[in-house]
Amino acid sequence: MKKFFGQDVYVQSAGIRSDLDVDGFAISVCEELGVELSRHRSRSFEDMEKWGDQLSSFDLVVALTPSSRAEAERLTRFYHMQLEFWPVSDPSGIGEAREDKLDAYRKSRDEIVAYLDQRWGDGAEGVGKA
């Protein structure tokens, strides 16, 4: 989001749990678009709040998996904010060979970029396309 649409919007990424390390395949396929993830760490909603980002201060939560949607619904039920569900393919465990795995991650990445385009316009249009 920051890469494609700049710093005009405050964006944070969180999940159900914090594994701390971002998946290497995700790092690789995002680098293809000029998005640097290697220094990022995954964090949970709880971690966000501990580090000063109050969930109630956000206008929108986007969930990418059914389990994250259920957790976001539970956590945001008393807040005035939008919750959107963008069902994105789960690339984990797909493929045996490295290139097959990368293709699965590219598919998920491209699905997210398409949702960004659909939701906020053409900021990501043409990204990653030769």
Token couple for 31: 């680098």
Mean pLDDT of 24-44: 89
* 44, β-bridge pairs: 15
Q: What percent of the chain has pLDDT over 90?
A: 42
As a whole number of angstroms, the distance between CA 10 and CA 28 comes to: 25
Residue 87 sits in a domain of what CATH number?
3.40.50.2300
Query: Could you list the residue range(s) of the whole structural domain that residue 26 is in?
Result: 2-120
50 vs 107: which has the higher pLDDT? 107
Q: Is residue 129 in a domain?
A: no
Per-residue pLDDT, 42: 78
Total domains in the chain come to 1
Mean pLDDT of 104-121: 93
Give yes or no for a contact between 3 and 80, defined as CB atoms under 8 angstroms apart: no
| 50-86 tens-digit pLDDT | 888 888 888 999 999 999 899 889 988 888 899 999 9
Give me the count of residues in the chain.
130
Q: Is residue 96 in a domain?
A: yes
As a whole number of angstroms, the distance between CA 105 and CA 27 comes to: 10
